[in-house]
Amino acid sequence: MRFTLSVCLLALPLAAWAQASLTEAEAVRLGLARTELADLERGALQAAAADAIAAGLLPNPVLSYNRDSLNGSSDTTEQTWMLSQTFDVSGRRGLYREAADRRVAAVSAGNAGRRLDLAADIRRSFYETLLQQEIIRATETWTQRFVRVEGLVTKLARAGEASGYDRRRLERERRSTDARLAAERAEQARALARLVALTGLTYAPILRGELLPPSLPPLDGALARLDEHPDLQALGRRAEAADMEGRAAKRGAIPKITVGVGPKRVDNGASNESGIALTLAVPLPVFDRQQAGLQRAAAEALQARAEHSLARSRAEGELRGLHRQADGLRVAAADYRARAVAASADLLRIAEAAYQGGESSLLELLDAYRGALEAETTALELEQRAREARIAYDLLTGSSE
């Protein structure tokens, strides 16, 4: 395996960043370990858990006091203290609590999906930066070959076999190369700044890794685990929650019962009597039998299941396509490097020998150098495309590396 190690050049104002190596796995670990992400996940989960707690709580008891004057006489009074409690005998509260628990699970799956998205974003940024590093390395290697060309031109000039045009053409080529190198370094600085922001680093790292991804595992295993993807899990939990709420709404015809008990005292001035007062209140479900809640829950369950079905069908198609794309790009990139790039060294030696022997012009030699650089750049871009397809495939299978 061919590992790359090149220095990232990124100047920050008012600070000189230290440098240390950084791998893809380390970048993902750092990005996912940020406290901001943990706080975001914890906040979303705690909010959903609070709804679950609220759904499972009994209503508060009610303490009331009543004082009446009987027969219009202020001498006879009744005083009653009453402690009332409402009870759900239909089981709706338990169903609503289960539904809220399903929504907590949906939020948890959403957090997992957010982590997968962030990991994929970090990986894309990592390999985008690594691509720029490799392009700069290849371009710097090309500029170093100018020293060799200048030596050849100088040697031929002494022998009267090189023209002034060759020197001027070589100088223009060098300037074009310097401009290209400056542009690539600027692009690298942008990519590296984004990677640093995603990982929370305080220094410019030296990236270490390989653009070409490893071989893909069999597709059947990924298809079998497709339902475990956090996005599909979240949709499934939402549908289950809506089902629970629908079951609870179906019991809307069973009313809640309110029972009250407390001491009662009657004082008519001549005597003083006391006893126990009992109350029983049952609302009559004549108009409101949770029809709206039942319809809303059924509609939400229908929507969640339709979204789940569409998302799964789309994900399965994407997975098959990405598997073919990632595998095809990887094979193409490896084949191109083995065939086109590997032959560059021999072609350059032939071109240098031909120019030195007077069998070709400087333009042909520079064209050979330019072709070698283009071959290396094309190989790197093919490897990057294969890596991007692999990251998209991993994101769909729920893998972060």
Q: Pick the residue with more confidence: 11 or 160?
A: 160
Average pLDDT in the 300-309 region? Answer: 90
CA triplet 18, 24, 25: central angle to 5 degrees?
105
**For residues 6 and 136, is the Cβ–Cβ distance under 8 A?**
yes
Main-chain dihedrals φ then ψ at residue 84, nearest 5 degrees: -115, 145
Using DSSP's 3-state secondary structure scheme, residue 273 falls into strand
Cross-strand partners of 9: none
Say if residue 381's pLDDT is above 80.
yes
Distance between CA atoms of residues 330 and 4, nearest Å:
18
Confidence of residue 22 (pLDDT cuts 50, 70, 90): very high
Lowest mean pLDDT among 82-96, 163-177, 296-310: 163-177
Say if residue 179's pLDDT is above 60.
yes
Q: Pick the residue with more confidence: 344 or 316?
A: 316
Pairing of strands 21-22, 206-209: parallel
> What proportion of the chain, given as a percentage, has pLDDT over 90?
52
Main-chain dihedrals φ then ψ at residue 96, nearest 5 degrees: -65, -35
pTM: 0.81
Confidence of residue 72 (pLDDT cuts 50, 70, 90): low
What confidence score (pLDDT) does residue 164 get?
Answer: 64
Question: First CA to last CA across the chain, in angstroms?
Answer: 18
Say if residue 144's pLDDT is above 70.
yes
Each residue of 272-286: b (16+ CB within 10 Å) or e? eeeeeeeeeeeeeee
Q: What is the pLDDT of residues 207-233, one digit of tens each?
A: 999 999 999 999 999 999 999 999 999
Q: Pick the residue with more confidence: 279 or 14?
A: 279
| Average model confidence (pLDDT) across the chain | 86
Average pLDDT in the 10-22 region? Answer: 51
Using DSSP's 3-state secondary structure scheme, residue 262 falls into strand
Domains delineated in the chain:
25-397 (1.20.1600.10)
